[in-house]
Amino acid sequence: MKMKWYVGLAVTTYALIAFRASSTPTEASGYLAVIGPFRTKRAALWAEKYGSNNPHFTHVNDAERLSKMKG
């Protein structure tokens, strides 16, 4: 199965962390919440950096669109 990009909310630091996974992450993955899968690495990294408390980022497609505008 192809590796896909996700962004997870870390249990200990409450920070967004971009990561790749071959299957859909579950509760056992060590994250409070997971967003994804993202189509591109660029969008996952954008969500990791700018996604926290961003009212313009409510869906994966928003990150894909906004990451294109940034770069």
**So where are the chain's domains?**
4-70
Q: Given this model, what pLDDT does residue 70 score?
A: 58
The predicted model scores a pTM of: 0.90
What angle do the packed helices 41-50 and 60-70 form, to 10 degrees?
Answer: 90
pLDDT in tens, 35-60: 999 999 999 999 999 999 999 999 99
DSSP, collapsed to helix, strand or coil, labels residue 26 as coil
pLDDT of the residue at 28: 84
User: What are the DSSP E strand ranges found in the chain?
Assistant: 4-10, 16-21, 31-38
Closest CA to 35 of 59, 62, 56: 59
